[in-house]
Chain A
Amino acid sequence: MKTTITEKQPLVARRSFIKVTALAGGGFMLGSYFGIGEQSAVAQTTMPATMPTTQSARNAAGDFAPSAFIRISPSGVVTIISKNPEIGQGIKTSLPMIIAEEMEVPWESVIVEQAPLNGAFTGQVAGGSTAIPSNYGRMRRLGATARTMLITAAAQTWNVPAEECIAEDGVVVHTTSGTRATYGELAAKAATLPVPDEKSVTLKEPKDFKILGKRIGGVDNIKIATGAALFGIDQQVPDLLYATYTKCPVFGGKVSSANVDAIKKMRGVRDAFVLEGGNGLGAGVAIVADSTWSAFKAQQKLQITWDNGDKATHSTASYTEQAEAFAKASPQKEVAKVGDVDAAFASAAKTAEGMYFYPHLSHATLEPQNCTAQFKDGAMHIWAPSQNPGSAQDVVVKALNIPKDKISIDMTRIGGGFGRRLMHDFVVEAAAIAQKLNGPPVKLTWTREQDMRHDYYRVGGWHKLKGAVDESGKVVAWSNHFITFGENSIDRAGNGANVGADEFPNRFIPNYNLGQSIISSHVPLGFWRAPGSCAYAWTFQSFIDELAHAAGKDPLEFRLTLLGEDREVPGSGGRGRPYSATRAKGVLKLAADKSGWGKTLPRGQGQGIAFHFSHQGYVAVVADVTVSKEGELKVNRLTAGVDVGPIINLSGAENQVHGSMIDGYSAALLQEITVAGGQVEQGNFHNYPLLRMPDSPAVDAHYIETAKEPTGLGEPALPPTAPAICNAIFAATGKRIRSLPLSKQDLTWS
């Protein structure tokens, strides 16, 4: 027998910790550092007053390069660094607000700066509505740590007890004597003090908050209104080259041959070459030119013979056929089984059945995928609109075999994320081209058509549902045969293509079955705003409406009854999240109340209601619609009841709730990605439309601020919107919508 001897590694974990640094000229900087174990003995370093803003400069400063969160200049300017990617969710405003609140600085005087990727910050991700719940406590403690140190500095300077000093509006005041000192005046002294244990610092009482919970405008508003905000696609670097990268329209196909020699002769073209791909880089043809337009024009002249592989037969029609065949049989796999649904169906007072379908969707961020990269002297620098730059770094390591510490990433403002930029195909492509060029910086820009045809799509799916209610109108059984997609797999559902065993209404119905069958497809799948929930909440909340109708109950009452007593239902088997019936009922009642639920309306008008719990947030939506006899739909109003705990920024929260609801409507009304010949058929906004101003409904948002730690709001208002609208269409017309998009359904009535 062979024994493997592993050399013993010292048991030290790399961790980030808080450290103070003196800035030249008397400034103060509080940052988090990455180090080995306890590093309180690290000598205090004096950093230049202006910190390097690029990652490469930081790397040059060594392993203990600080990732500053707070800087105070001797003149009193407070700069707060925002570590997370800004995709329009407002995090560049809300995280600094939390620090400023605890620091006791007036918001108007704060300057916010975007951080680059730096491991010491941790969690530099925009995804899953997680930034607020995972950073709220941490940002508060950081702000409070700075405040505590400034108060200590003042107390020591004045030789008075710290308890007699308070901080307010960027000034420390000695309450008994009235002596005052600004943060700028105290910065140099504070920078010499030991950092208190961040767990020991006193946090403010929420009732004393001056910034949190208020309406605060985005920190980049003026830049955006004047065209000065720089997105990924706007990065300008001296001697920049411009690139396109053309991949096989059939996903996964390879390049057999390409007319790169002819392309290289075109005016404005500097280079053209084939990249074989592999390790996360898709095969394709790169064109490098002296302007975006030269590159786009040359791309039009590309003649490529593709090796499509065996996937060119895939089509939406064949997927539909497979789904229909699956629906006739038992599910391939059992996901959840509670009680005995068959017995319950046999003895039930009333049953309902329906087969639901929703299509694949594209993210269609308005800023197409793009990335700028420069590979020089063995080091790769990247300017990327990425929702997860740490993961971008990892995929570049893997694809291009460049050591991680040689890859630095600047995080740009991002023209929409919606989950698209959690995947980094475009980053790897730009980096691969830069590596080949070996020297000059290059910006890769995808055309809109490439963006739509090379997405990681929101998965489509089918649900064959059957439900039963008893005499009293209570749901007694629910079975769901969920037919979904795997990425080239019949065993594993793809990204966003699962329904969790605990997903509602499981745990609220005595007999419950969830089975799954998987269609293998080569279409890449990804995470689209509220992954999973964005699709199945529509199905389940529509079908609950069918059951309410079968039971002859009001849709709101029926849902409140289904949720039952006010309580928190634990996750089954110790897994899954607890589900608060109290909070779900709370948002239902709030949305109903604010929308005037229960109005008697003439035929052709209707109200619909739906609710969903996702990303730790509870949201209910009431839709008010009008449908003409000719089938023309107008959504008049969408009203949301929201419980994500305390609201950080009222203005930002409202933007997210409004935007999510309209986005949910836009997708349900208009959008569908279809496949023929193994390729996506849609390419631009004429055949993949987005909702426009004239169709945009009135929207409003109302909150229950349950006293809990706040949770994120980038996603949870989207899932309940489409079902609320479809339930309202049913109320208006008697037509049950079981297939999306709505624009393809016949809504006429007489």
Chain B
Amino acid sequence: MPKYTLNVNGEPKAVDVDADTPLLWVLRDTIGLVGTKYGCGMSLCGACTVHINGQAIRACGTPVSAVGSGKVVTIEGLAKNGELTPLQKAWCDHDVAQCGYCQSGQIMSATALLASNPKPTDADIDAAMAGNICRCATYPRIRLAIHSAAEGKKGVE
């Protein structure tokens, strides 16, 4: 089987998997980072969203062979030394999660949004987050959390 050395959350990870294996399953089954979720396998739900070189992508639709030397960041790689990012804090302050299953993907999409657009409008948020389904419908609080992280506010829910 081909061997790949991926850069995941700043660390090199040598993996030995089929070339067509989606990054999603390499992360989950081979590397053991299970924060990235499987929801649809068809780039429809966003549960598997990770960053490659800062861009939010769907790990279920990205074969490992296409990752190359791209810097992969997963939900586990956002907090540094246990310090949550302002967006992760806003997620907790606003008590966004219900079941929580979609939230890794939501946070990864929102993180990429704020990196490119630090003060998004509601329309910007709609556009950036439309690819992430939340079956529990936590959308109102996702919006709130993104706004409050953008404004550097602590949650006032």
- Residues of B at under 8 Å CB distance from A? 1, 17-18, 20-22, 25, 28-30, 32-42, 44-45, 47, 74-76, 78-79, 84, 88-89, 91-93, 95, 97-104, 107, 125-127, 129-143, 157
Subset of 29 A-B contacts with CB under 8 Å: A86-B99, A221-B91, A222-B92, A224-B100, A225-B84, A225-B91, A226-B88, A227-B35, A228-B35, A234-B34, A291-B17, A291-B29, A292-B25, A292-B28, A293-B21, A366-B37, A366-B47, A366-B101, A415-B100, A416-B135, A417-B99, A418-B135, A448-B39, A651-B95, A655-B95, A658-B141, A659-B138, A685-B133, A692-B131
Please, how many angstroms separate the alpha-carbon atoms of A267 and B18 in the complex? 9
Q: Which residue of A lies closest to B75 (CB)?
A: A227
Given known pairs A215-B157, A448-B39, the reply for A366 and B95 (CB within 8 Å) is: no
CB-CB under 8 A from B135, the residues of chain A are: 364-366, 416, 418, 663, 690
Would B101 and A367 count as touching, CB distance under 8 A? yes
Across the two chains, which residue of chain A brings its CB closest to B34? A234
Q: Which 7 A-B pairs have the closest CB atoms?
A: A227-B35, A88-B99, A415-B101, A227-B75, A662-B137, A88-B98, A696-B139
Q: Does A631 contact B (CB under 8 A)?
A: no
Q: A residues 181-218 with Cβ under 8 Å of B?
A: 215, 217-218
A413 an interface residue at 8 Å Cβ cutoff?
A: yes
Known contacts: A293-B25, A662-B137, A666-B137. The answer to whether A226 contacts B102 by CB under 8 A is no
Q: In the complex, which residues of chain B have a beta carbon less than 8 angstroms from the beta carbon of A89?
A: 98
Contact for A236 among B22, B32, B140, CB less than 8 A: B32
Contact of A696 among B29, B40, B140, B157 (CB under 8 A): B140
Give 18 A-B pairs besides A221-B92, A225-B89, A416-B135 with Cβ atoms closer than 8 angstroms.
Answer: A217-B93, A221-B95, A221-B97, A222-B92, A224-B97, A224-B100, A228-B35, A229-B100, A231-B37, A291-B17, A366-B47, A368-B38, A368-B39, A445-B38, A447-B41, A685-B44, A690-B135, A696-B140
Rounded to whole Å, the gap between the CB of B61 and the closest CB of chain A is: 13
Known contacts A225-B107, A226-B78, A292-B25; decide if A693 and B99 are in contact (CB<8 Å).
no
Least distance between A361 CB and chain B CB atoms (Å): 13
Complex: how many Å from CA A492 to CA B40?
35
| A690 partner, pick from B21, B78, B133, B142, beta carbons under 8 A | B133
- A228 and B107 CA atoms in complex are apart in Å by 13
User: Does A230 count as interface, using CB distance less than 8 angstroms?
Assistant: yes
CA distance A296 to B22 in the complex (A): 11
Near B by CB (< 8 A), chain A positions 631-664 give 651-652, 655-656, 658-659, 662-663
What residues of chain A lie closer than 8 Å to B41, measured between beta carbons? 296, 447-448, 684
Looking across the interface, which residue of chain A has its beta carbon closest to that of B137? Answer: A662
- Is there an interface contact between B30 and A291, defined as CB atoms closer than 8 Å? yes
Nearest to A417 among chain B residues (CB) is B99
Q: Give residues of chain A (512-531) contacting chain B, Cβ–Cβ below 8 Å.
A: none
Report if A676 contacts B (CB, 8 A): no
Contact of B98 among A225, A659, A690 (CB under 8 A): A659
- Nearest Cβ on chain B to A107's Cβ, whole angstroms: 13
Q: State the CA gap A416–B134 with chains docked (Å).
A: 10
A663 to B17, CA, bound (A): 39
Cα(A710)–Cα(B125), bound, Å: 37
Whether A699 is near chain B, meaning CB under 8 Å from some CB there, is yes
B26 nearest CB neighbor, chain A only: A293
- Contact between B95 and A217, CB atoms less than 8 A apart: yes
A652 to B28, CA, bound (A): 30
- CB nearest to B98 among chain A residues: A88
Residue of A nearest to B133 (CB): A690
Contact of A693 among B25, B42, B91, B132 (CB under 8 A): B132
Complex contacts, A411 vs chain B, CB 8 Å: none
B136 contacts across to A, CB distance below 8 A? 88, 366, 416, 655, 659, 663
A445 to B25 alpha-carbon distance, docked (Å): 12
Which chain B residues lie closer than 8 Å to A684 at the CB level? Answer: 40-42, 44
Contact A415 B18 (CB under 8 A): no
Q: A221-B97, A293-B22 are in contact. Are A366 and B39 (CB under 8 A)?
A: yes
Tell me the bound Cα distance from A119 to B124 in angstroms: 50
Contact B75 A226 (CB under 8 A): yes
B42 touching A685 by the CB < 8 A rule?
Answer: yes
* Residues of chain A within 8 A of B30, CB atoms compared: 291
Q: Does the CB pair A693–B142 fall under 8 Å?
A: yes
What is the CA–CA distance of A418 and B101 in the complex, to the nearest angstrom? 14
Give the chain A neighbours of B1 by CB distance below 8 A: 267
A227 touches B33 (CB 8 A): yes
Who on chain A is nearest to B134 by CB? A366
Question: How far apart are the CA atoms of A209 and B36 in the complex, in Å?
Answer: 39
Q: Which of B18, B36, B47, B98 contacts A655 (CB 8 A)?
A: B98
Is A698 an interface residue when CB atoms closer than 8 A count as contact? yes
- Closest beta carbon of chain A to B54's beta carbon, Å: 18
Closest beta carbon of chain B to A316's beta carbon, Å: 23
A747 an interface residue at 8 Å Cβ cutoff?
no
- What is the minimal beta-carbon distance from B65 to any residue of chain A, in angstroms? 13
Chain A residues within 8 Å of B78, by CB? 226
Closest to B135 in A: A366
**Bound-state Cα–Cα, A88 to B1, Å:** 40
CB distance from A438 to the nearest CB of B (A): 23
A90 vs B97: C-alpha distance when bound (angstroms): 9
Residues on A lying within 8 angstroms of B by beta carbon are 86-90, 215, 217-218, 220-222, 224-231, 233-234, 236, 242, 267-268, 291-294, 296-297, 364-368, 413-418, 445, 447-448, 651-652, 655-656, 658-659, 662-663, 666, 684-686, 690-694, 696, 698-699
A226 is contacted by which of B40, B44, B76, B157 (Cβ under 8 Å)?
Answer: B76
A726 vs B78: C-alpha distance when bound (angstroms):
43
Interchain CA distance A24-B127 in the complex, whole Å: 56
Q: Closest Cβ of chain B: how far from A426's Cβ, in Å?
A: 15
Tell me the smallest distance from the CB of B21 to a CB of chain A, in Å. Answer: 5
Least CB distance, A129 to chain B, in whole angstroms: 15
Q: Which residues of B contact A230 (CB under 8 A)?
A: 34
Cβ of A88 and Cβ of B34 under 8 Å apart?
Answer: no
Contact partners of B20 in chain A: CB under 8 A: 297
On chain B, the residues within 8 Å of A87 by CB distance are 99
Given contacts A227-B76, A692-B130, A693-B126, contact A663 B98 (CB under 8 A): no
Cα A651 to Cα B25 with chains together (Å):
35
Pairwise interchain contact B29-A415, C-beta atoms closer than 8 A: no
Query: Which listed residue, B76, B97, B126, touches A694 by the CB 8 Å rule?
Result: B126
CA distance A691 to B102 in the complex (A): 14
Q: Chain A contacts of B133 at CB under 8 A?
A: 366, 685, 690, 692
- The reply to whether B34 and A236 contact each other, CB–CB distance below 8 Å, is yes
Contacts of B35 in A (CB 8 A): 226-228
Instruction: Report the separation of the CA atoms of residues A648 and B126 in the bound assembly, to the nearest whole angstrom.
Output: 32
In the complex, the answer to whether B102 meets A366 with C-beta atoms within 8 Å is: yes
Q: Shortest Cβ distance from B33 into chain A, in angstroms?
A: 7
Complex Cα distance, B107 from A242, in Å, reads 28
By a CB distance below 8 angstroms, the chain B residues around A685 are 40, 42, 44-45, 133
A225 to B140, CA, bound (A): 17
**Given A221-B91, A227-B74, A693-B129, does the pair A291, B157 have CB atoms closer than 8 Å?**
no
**Chain A residues within 8 Å of B127, by CB:** 694
Query: What is the chain B residue whose CB lies nearest that of A216?
Result: B95
Whole-angstrom distance between the alpha carbons of A692 and B125 in the complex? 12
Enumerate chain A residues within 8 angstroms of B29, measured Cβ to Cβ: 242, 291-293
Compute how far the CA of A217 lies from the CA of B76 in the bound complex, rounded to whole angstroms. Answer: 21
Nearest chain B CB to A727 CB, angstrom units: 21
Of all chain A residues, the one with the shortest Cβ separation from B106 is A693
Residue of A nearest to B33 (CB): A227
* Cα–Cα, bound, A222→B130 (Å): 24
Complexed CA–CA distance, A378 and B29 (Å)? 28
**B134 → A minimal CB distance (Å):** 7
Q: What B residues does A690 contact at CB under 8 A?
A: 133, 135
Q: Whole-angstrom distance from the CB of A298 to the nearest CB of chain B?
A: 12
Chain B residue numbers with a CB within 8 Å of A221 are 91-92, 95, 97
B73–chain A nearest beta-carbon distance, Å? 11
Q: A281 → chain B, closest Cβ, in Å? A: 24
Q: Which residue of B lies closest to A293 (CB)?
A: B25
The interface centre, meaning the residue of A90, A367, A698 with most chain B CB atoms within 10 A of its CB, is A367
